């Protein structure tokens, strides 16, 4: 799935506005330039960046209520999924935090968010903070059991954890839920028929 087709889905199915899509285009162009030096994303995914990274991240807007609250992205990397979600957000009172321990990636995120006037806060190591958030999202941060542990330890209140996982999602859930069972839903990914979106409701 190439750029034009992905943009059509973003606008017509996920309700991204023209301004957000325009900013997305600039972001992707800047990321591909930076990737020549820093290897922010795998070189093998550059040609499918709109499908593999953008749409994969953007599909999460279906599970987030942007009318109130806040969102934290653990291990945002080059901005997936957190920056893509922030570009969708039209509510200035909905707060988005991107957690990334790499100084080089943080510098890129700070630069591009300032350039495009994206309403986000860029933070360092997630373990140095207690998060007051309604949603925690994660794409390629850690194994599921580790993500659950971090989410439980650092969140101050009840929240929803949304994790993008590959074809081993069921196996990962079984391993993560050995000791404690949580309420969760499994949603199909629109970018890969074998991949899943895990949504866990943590009630304090």
pTM recorded for the entire structure = 0.93
CA dihedral 185, 191, 195, 197 (to 10 degrees): -20
User: pLDDT value at position 204?
Assistant: 59
13-60 residue pLDDT tens: 999 999 999 999 999 999 999 999 999 999 999 999 999 999 999 999
User: pLDDT value at position 174?
Assistant: 76
- Of 77-81, 181-185, 192-196, the one with minimum mean pLDDT is 181-185
Average pLDDT, the chain: 91
Nearest to 156 by CA among 79, 70, 67: 70
Written in H, E and C, the secondary structure of 75-91 is CCCCCCCHHHHHHHCCC
49 is in which domain, residue-wise? 3-202
124-139 residue pLDDT tens: 877 666 788 999 999 8
User: Cα angle at 163 between 29 and 127, to 5 degrees?
Assistant: 90
Confidence band, pLDDT 50/70/90 cuts, at residue 161: very high
Q: What is the DSSP letter of 119?
A: -
Scanning the chain, the segments in alpha helix (DSSP H) are 3-12, 18-38, 49, 56-58, 82-88, 103-115, 144-154, 169-176
Number of domains in the chain: 1
User: pLDDT value at position 105?
Assistant: 97
Domain CATH for 140: 3.40.50.150
Q: What share of the chain is helix, strand, coil (3-state, %, to 5)?
A: 45, 20, 35
Instruction: Tell me the CA end-to-end span of the chain in Å, nearest whole number.
Output: 41
56-91 residue pLDDT tens: 999 999 999 999 899 999 999 999 999 999 999 999
């Amino acid at each position: 799935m190439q750029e034009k087709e992905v943009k059509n889905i973003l606008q017509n199915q996920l309700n991204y506005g023209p301004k957000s899509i325009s900013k997305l285009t600039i972001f992707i162009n800047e990321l591909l330039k930076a990737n020549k030096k820093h290897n922010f994303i795998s070189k093998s995914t550059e040609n499918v960046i709109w499908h593999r990274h953008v749409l994969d991240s953007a599909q999460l807007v279906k599970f987030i209520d942007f009318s109130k609250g806040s969102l934290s992205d653990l291990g945002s990397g080059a901005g997936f999924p957190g920056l893509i979600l922030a570009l969708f957000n039209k509510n200035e009172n909905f707060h988005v935090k991107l957690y990334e321990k790499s100084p080089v990636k943080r510098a890129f995120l700070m630069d591009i968010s300032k350039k495009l006037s994206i309403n986000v806060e860029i933070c360092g190591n997630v373990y140095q903070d207690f998060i007051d958030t309604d949603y925690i999202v994660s794409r390629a941060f850690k194994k599921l059991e580790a993500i659950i542990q971090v989410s439980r330890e650092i969140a101050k209140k009840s929240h929803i954890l949304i994790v993008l996982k590959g074809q081993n999602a069921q196996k990962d859930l079984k391993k993560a839920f050995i000791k404690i069972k949580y309420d969760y839903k499994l949603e199909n990914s629109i970018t890969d028929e074998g991949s899943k979106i895990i949504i866990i409701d943590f009630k304090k």
